[in-house]
Structure 1
Amino acid sequence: MRLLSDGYRRSPFVLIFILIMLKMALFRQFVFHGIQIDKLIGDAAAVLVLLCIAELLTSAKWKGTVFGWLNGLLSLMLFASTVYFSYYGTVPTYTALHGLNQVLQIRSSVGASIQPANYLFFIDILVLVFVYIVKLVRGDHNRGRKHAAKLSYVWIAAVIGLIVSGFYMKAGSAIANEMVEAESLGFLNYQVAAAVKANKENQAIKNGDLAETAAAAASLQATYSYRDTNAALNYFGAAKGKNVIVVQLEAFQNFPIHLSLGGKEITPVLNQLVGDSFYFPHFFQQIGQGNTSDAEFMSNSSIYPAGVIAMSTGYGDRVVPSLPRLLKQEDYKSNTFHINDVTFWDRNLLYPALGFDKYYDKPSFKNDHFNAFGASDEELYRVGLEKLQALQEQSKPFYAQFITASSHHPFKVPVNKQQITLPDALKDTQLGDYLTAVNYTDYALGKFIDGLKASGLWDNTMLVVYGDHFGLQTKDNDDTWVSEQLGIHYDERISRFNIPLIIHVPGEGAKVVEGVGGQVDIMPTVSNLLGISLGDEGFTAFGHDLLNIDHNVVGMRYYLPTGSFFNNDILFVPGKGFDDGTALDLRTMEKITDISPYQDDYNYILELMKLSDNYVRLLPKRAP
């Protein structure tokens, strides 16, 4: 211990460099499953630059303190990023800091994502603090002793570090896959590269034009063969004049539909609804950093999430073309319901941006302490039904959006609310907890539907039900084990990102739509059923009406690297680019060896998402 104390006193630069590099190696092991010495050089260069700056700007008296704080800060960043990766499956950039105020709201989910090994990032700090306390007790303050590195050597080290870091960033500048980019550049260089890229995009957009961008998007989409023929639109106006209720189900994947355990259906309500509705079994999430709030944004606007920031946070100050605004022209009242505080994910900005007339949040509901968010789905629907009946009495058509929360991670349902009994093999597992939560969510939806029928609203209402994003965490649910437990073929990407979309239109009956779709397609599909022509309205949509296309391609980013897409046949995930990417058949979930036929789809979706990003950045800001 004395030796460590002396070493730290004489050369904090060297000791802290070694400690931080050990943590960088640990981070790579956690995230990339290997230390990769050649790539670790990029980390070393960035750390060297950072420490050289501290060495040059800090007096001898404060060096120990400054280097100690740097070590602590980087330890915390690497720890948080590891936990973030464990939950989201991607390496965060500095833009994730915008979501720090949300952490307390999802602390149970965050806590469940932490592994004991993650605390290895802090072991050295505990030792150093102990050494410091021992020194204080002994009265050894080292006041008269100063040791400064020779400035010439520090400058040389800083220049070398900058050159090496610059080399790594230049070599990785063409990589669209964020995970590959982070792995290649190193954690700190990746943050700098993200900032440089954001600055370039912001500078480029200053000279942009919204109308030109919309025209470019329309022109690009015209090059893709979404339809084989120019036949008249099917189902146009099938729900014209009807009320619209959209239910966004929290963490709801598609596989529980029609699934039974021990002879008992997991989702009996949704199963019955599928038998009398349009059902889209090959429908996928497309959310970005904003998760549930991004799904709300997309389903109402048909604009891709930007990926680098929650859309509610980044663009909540805009006037967003949306379904509520279109329906307002038809004299609809638009309300949205969520049992959490409206400031969660900046929904207090999101809802005005989307043009909702009114929102109902936490104070509107009785807290029955279902989970960390508060009220149960049953309470959500109880209040919602009261408000909708009031609008019915005023003879006002309405658009109502319900954001459920009872199936939120970590999927703990109070015992008195559980509706099913799990097989012994699934008890005390995340899969078992998830199925229990999903079953309750289905049960509560059933009670809501019963209430709509009893109130006379059902026959005059189009009901849209979809999942916002995945529920099962890959680290807790090996796909082979899940497949064995449930008797299905479960894939960690295709099955995980596959969410349901069900649209019930009174009098239309059942139809299974086999084509692929994504959350950007909800708004155009709903608009078609309501008899609203987006073309006639001059509305720019980046999705398509799923009832009237023969082919589709939808992009995904954040949970998969930029450039990933689903089309009617495959899921494609790029490597450094297209050529080293992988494709999986959506039906068999087997790897496709020849990916060459999908090059055009890859190029197309990259350009479409770029135009979507430009479009939303150019939207006008709302008046204060």
Structure 2
Amino acid sequence: MNLTNLKVSIIEKLKVQLTRNTILRIVFYLLLVISITLKGIYFQGFVGSKTPYNFSFGTGYSSVSPFMNYYIAFAVVFLSFTLLFKGKGKWIFPLIINAVLTFLFVLDLWYFRGFQTVPSVIVATQTANLDNMSGSILSLTTKLDFIFVIDFLVLIPYIIVFRKSFKKVKSNFKGFAAAFLISIIYIGYVPFNINVLGNKDVKNSYLFSNYDATNTARYFSSIGYHLFDVYNTYKDLKPYKLTADEQKEVKDFYAKKNENLPDNSYKGLFNGKNLLIIQVESLENFVIGQKADGQEITPNLNKLLNNSIYFPHVFEQVNEGTSSDSDLMVNTGMLPLRKGSTFFRYPNRDYISLPKLLGEKGYESTAIHPDKGSFWNYADGLKGIGFNNFIDYYSFNPDEVIGLGLSDETYFKQVVPMIKKMKQPFYTFTVTLTNHGPFELPDKYKELNLTGELKDSLLGNSFQTVHYTDKQIGMFLNELDKNGLLDNTVVVIEGDHTGVHKYYNDKVNEMKNPENWWLDNNISSVPYIVYQKNYNNPVKIDTYGGQVDMMPTISYLMGVDESKYINSALGRNLLKTNKSFAYLTNGTLRGTLSKEDQDLYKQVFDISDKMIKSDYFKNYTDK
């Protein structure tokens, strides 16, 4: 073979080798795009199922297929940066990106199982909430979640076998620019037409005018949702000022909401008495008055109904702030923000609140939390609402911890002497913790003798923890009574949000022989009990309402002048209304409303957002 033929042969072999290496690299990148896109389908396969703990690829694909191009475009946006690397970076960087995005999908899924929505970036600032939460987080996982990492079983061996194909490969800025820009142009085409060119009729414009986090994640995958969320969160950092039209919108809402009905016998019924609110963790109304294997689940709460005004149809309206959202609604009559925790984002807003209104009547107000003040930013949030005093975990002797924190027994035992020292009249807001999912109670405290399917089931365990909490509430009230405090005190007992049906409804549905009351249509309701030891006209109010209605109802009973809160609370007085309804956080209507009222109350979530963001009561009302 002469020299010329040898050169030709070498060049041909190099060409073949280069072509082979190029193909191997392209296949690797295509596998990455496909795997990241599939993870979006997997996510929707859980979210779209009857329960997010089960998986259906068909459901996920049918949900995603109309938006597949966006899923691919967002994957390419991230992977395009691979072209800026050389050598080993060509495969190390995309594997890292894939791992990060995989973690994002899995985190969104776990969060969705807990809150029925996907998290905002704002949640990442709430790391204080992770204290003692490991058990609750693990309860939101399933063995099926491994499908999100199956691709690594292919990609890693692929790299091990073909890693030499990535050697001596240079960075490719032009390739990066082309891949990145084409993807961005595709993604940005619709919003550019809407916001820059003013073309409101462009096809698929609804995708970009949607404010529901779960839908946004469906349209653009978790990747796209979080990019939009970061942008919207950045915009929200700027001071929010209401336009003249928005101010009119708020005032018009109150004008239409107010029913102007005559007063009744409930007005000022408990005027001048102390007020004690017990907010019970994850307490659902469906257990009140019920028995499990012939045993009363809540015997003490059942007994209290003999001297109470009882509202069995008050529905949960918390959002991403969960328990802290309940603190907000019960005390202000405002709805929580649609994104993030109100206490974290705006802890020092001005409200027309229950502690302030009672403060005008000479009440000293105290919030007593078994949590640390940093959890849900309770310390700043409750002080912002207007409480004179805030007591948290650090004021207690943590001699017994169950699950999330202080056991209800040690908490209530230590609260009694605190209340004894309070100057009357007082308003005291207390909170329990033990009845928190996944409802893990030491065996020595399990007093219900459950058998069969209920024994050791998650539903049965929830009955055990709520029975335990019910017992501690009974002992707490007995101690207050022994100290002569109940005669002049109104006790309000309410649930901060639902529990076993909120987070573990799939486990309830899996029970082979369910009883009808487990599956009641009102499973999204929390009990709302107004107890007074000497009140001998027990009544059950069947009016439908939401947590936002608790504050104006309590205010009416406590003799607060209605004019002081009727144009501030977004809720209504359930003892003085002809309307029986509640809108849930997801927009579902419980009860009945006229078409005109439906149109009115559907705005309330957006109105509350605007009022809180703009600090409405400080900046837009007369002092």
Q: Provide TM-score, normalisation by structure 2.
A: 0.84
Q: Which residue of 1 is the match for residue 13 of structure 2?
A: none
Shift of 1:290: 0.6
CA distance, structure 1, for counterparts of residue 556 and residue 617 of structure 2: 28
Superimposed CA distance per residue, residues 242-287 of structure 1 (whole angstroms, 9 cap, x where no aligned partner): 1100001101100100101222111111111112100001111100
Superimposed CA distance per residue, residues 63-119 of structure 1 (whole angstroms, 9 cap, x where no aligned partner): 333222211110000011111112222233333323344234312111111111112
Contact 1:483–1:490 (CA under 8 A) maintained in structure 2: no
Structure 1 residues 65-214: aligned runs within 5 Å: 65-125=92-152, 128=155, 143-146=167-170, 148=172, 151=175, 153-154=178-179, 157-158=182-183, 161-162=186-187, 170-175=205-210, 178-194=213-229, 205-208=240-243
Q: Which residue of 2 is the match for residue 320 of structure 1?
A: 351
Shift of 1:193: 4.3
Q: 1:272 to 1:373 in 2, by over 3 A?
A: same
Contact 1:253–1:467 (CA under 8 A) maintained in structure 2: yes
Q: 1:297 to 1:224 in 2, by over 3 A?
A: closer
Shift of 1:529: 1.0
Contact 2:286–2:518 (CA under 8 A) maintained in structure 1: no
Q: Answer yes or no: is 1:277 the counterpart of 2:302.
A: no
CA distance, structure 2, for counterparts of residue 86 and residue 609 of structure 1: 23
Pick aligned residue for 1:565 from 589, 606, 612: 589
Residue 281 of structure 1 aligns to a residue in which SS?
strand
Q: Which residue of 2 is the match for residue 24 of structure 1?
A: 40
CA distance, structure 1, for counterparts of residue 135 and residue 305 of structure 2: 33
Contact 1:60–1:148 (CA under 8 A) maintained in structure 2: no
Q: Answer yes or no: is 1:613 the counterpart of 2:609.
A: yes
CA distance, structure 1, for counterparts of residue 292 and residue 180 of structure 2: 66
Q: Which amino acid aligns with 2:313?
A: H
Q: Which residue of 2 is the match for residue 398 of structure 1?
A: 426
Answer with 481-490 or 277-286: which moved more. Answer: 481-490
Superimposed CA distance per residue, residues 421-470 of structure 1 (whole angstroms, 9 cap, x where no aligned partner): 11221122110111111111111100011111111001100000001111
CA distance, structure 2, for counterparts of residue 168 and residue 108 of structure 1: 46
Shift of 1:400: 0.8
Across the aligned residues of Structure 1 and Structure 2, the Cα RMSD in angstroms comes to: 3.2
Contact 1:226–1:549 (CA under 8 A) maintained in structure 2: yes
Structure 1 residues 328-407: aligned runs within 5 Å: 328-391=359-422, 395-407=423-435
Residue 545 of structure 1 aligns to a residue in which SS?
coil
CA distance, structure 2, for counterparts of residue 606 and residue 195 of structure 1: 26
Structure 1 residues 339-488: aligned runs within 5 Å: 339-391=370-422, 395-473=423-501, 476-477=505-506, 484-488=513-517
- Which runs of no fewer than 5 residues in structure 2 stay unpaired? 1-19, 50-58, 192-201, 619-623
Pick aligned residue for 1:42 from 64, 70, 81: 70
Q: Which residue of 1 is the match for residue 320 of structure 2?
A: 289
- Which runs of no fewer than 5 residues in structure 1 stay unpaired? 570-596
Contact 2:122–2:233 (CA under 8 A) maintained in structure 1: no
Answer with 500-509 or 146-155: which moved more. Answer: 146-155
Structure 1 residues 508-527: aligned runs within 5 Å: 508=535, 509-527=537-555
Shift of 1:602: 3.2
Q: 1:269 to 1:68 in 2, by over 3 A?
A: same
Q: 1:184 to 1:45 in 2, by over 3 A?
A: same
Pick aligned residue for 1:499 from 526, 529, 535: 526
Superimposed CA distance per residue, residues 507-565 of structure 1 (whole angstroms, 9 cap, x where no aligned partner): 433011110111111111111111101414686110111111121443322xx2xx333
Contact 1:553–1:605 (CA under 8 A) maintained in structure 2: no
Q: Which residue of 1 is the match for residue 53 of structure 2?
A: none
CA distance, structure 2, for counterparts of residue 15 and residue 306 of structure 1: 40
Superimposed CA distance per residue, residues 104-150 of structure 1 (whole angstroms, 9 cap, x where no aligned partner): 431211111111111222233466556667899xxx69543447486
CA distance, structure 2, for counterparts of residue 505 and residue 359 of structure 1: 25
Residue 307 of structure 1 aligns to a residue in which SS?
coil
CA distance, structure 2, for counterparts of residue 406 and residue 264 of structure 1: 20
Q: Which amino acid aligns with 2:207?
A: G
Q: Which amino acid aligns with 2:517?
A: I
Q: Which amino acid aligns with 1:48?
A: V
Identity %: 25
Contact 2:74–2:183 (CA under 8 A) maintained in structure 1: no
Q: 1:427 to 1:15 in 2, by over 3 A?
A: same
Shift of 1:360: 2.0
Contact 2:129–2:376 (CA under 8 A) maintained in structure 1: yes
Q: Which residue of 1 is the match for residue 597 of structure 2?
A: 601
Superimposed CA distance per residue, residues 320-353 of structure 1 (whole angstroms, 9 cap, x where no aligned partner): 3311122222221211222221111111211211
CA distance, structure 1, for counterparts of residue 421 and residue 239 of structure 2: 49
Contact 1:385–1:451 (CA under 8 A) maintained in structure 2: yes
Answer with 254-263 or 120-129: which moved more. Answer: 120-129
